[in-house]
Amino acid sequence: MISPAEISAGLAANAQSLDRLRAQARQSPDLALKTAAQQFEAVFMNMMLKSMREATPQDGAFDSEQTRMFTGMLDQQLAQSMAARGIGLADMMVKQMGGALGHGVAGGRQIAPAAQPERTGALPTAYNESMQQDFVQRLMPYAVQAGRETGVPASLILGQAALESGWGQREILMPDGGTSFNLFGIKAGDKWNGKVVEAVTTEYRDGIPVKQTEKFRAYGSYTEAFGDYANLIRGNPRYAGVLRQGLAAPDAAFALQQAGYATDPGYAAKLIKVMRVVHALS
């Protein structure tokens, strides 16, 4: 695993550093977001120091091309050192980007195993087309089958799976690190008799996000997961509006939100965006 300190040692404009950042984005999106923010903070500090240097007189006895070159190198190192300690800009960027992105948000819930820190966002480039294409190819057959059982468009079903699980990168994990196959963020509930896994989630109450630990269903396969989703949509009366004959996929997305599938007030809009990607890759 590449640490933020290792990447921060190079300038953001350095090609090798950018390649390492892209690799990190594939391995750990959250850490890559933090690293990118630190890189930006370092560049910002360097620009600020450069502006301060340019604002001072440049015709002193010790001013020359060589001294200016070494001063610039010193400013770069100073900027990196200051950014490593942090001035608050990187933290603000991580918070802003984590909240603005719709990837990996599970039913209005940003899910992570209870034993691990809650994940709060990822670089957009972490969800590249290759990753999305692989997700669609692997799981579309399950979505098609669930669509046949419910009448819900397969693109909506797979779109939900992608949105809830961050294109498979944020599946709810079991304590041993294995997957629970719960792509839809379905909670266990009192009537659930199967396996259960606890996870930290963010629920919205009156539009305000609140973190809490909840119990979620765990399955033995994706077949079970998609089958249980189909049973939930088909068997719960509150989702009757989603099953209306001839309902367009975007309208079904809003019907899901109105039925209370998610507490995130922007859930339907996020789902529609993801559905468009699924449709384009199908």
* Residue spans per domain, the chain: 4-100, 112-281
pLDDT value, residue 148: 95
Helix residue ranges, H only, 57-107: 65-85, 89-100
Q: 203, 214, 224, 251: which one is catalytic?
A: 203
- pLDDT tier at 100, thresholds 50, 70, 90: very low
pLDDT value, residue 189: 87
Q: What is the distance between the alpha carbons of residues 247 and 105, in angstroms, rounded to a whole number? A: 25
pLDDT value, residue 174: 94
Tokens of 113: 């195993």
Q: 41, 164, 228, 264: which one is catalytic?
A: 228
- pLDDT tier at 245, thresholds 50, 70, 90: confident
Q: Choose the weakest-confidence range: 11-15, 189-193, 235-239, 260-264.
A: 11-15
pLDDT value, residue 78: 67
Q: Is 190 a catalytic residue?
A: no
- Measured CA angle at 119 (ends 257, 41), to 5 deg: 115
Determine the average pLDDT of the residues in 211-222: 94
- C-alpha distances (whole Å) from 108 to each of 100, 128, 203, 239, 263 are 13, 22, 6, 17, 5
Determine the average pLDDT of the residues in 207-214: 86
Q: Which has the closest alpha carbon to 26: 106, 134, 110?
A: 134
Q: Is 6 a catalytic residue?
A: no
Q: What is the pLDDT of residues 139-158, one digit of tens each?
A: 999 999 999 999 999 999 99
- Beta strands in the chain, from DSSP E residues, in sequence order: 112-113, 195-205, 208-218
- pLDDT tier at 208, thresholds 50, 70, 90: confident
- CATH placement of domain 112-281: 1.10.530.10
Per-residue pLDDT at 173 exceeds 70: yes
Give the residue, 206 or 89, on which the prediction is more confident: 206
The amino acid that residue 67 corresponds to is T
Per-residue pLDDT at 115 exceeds 50: no
DSSP 187: B
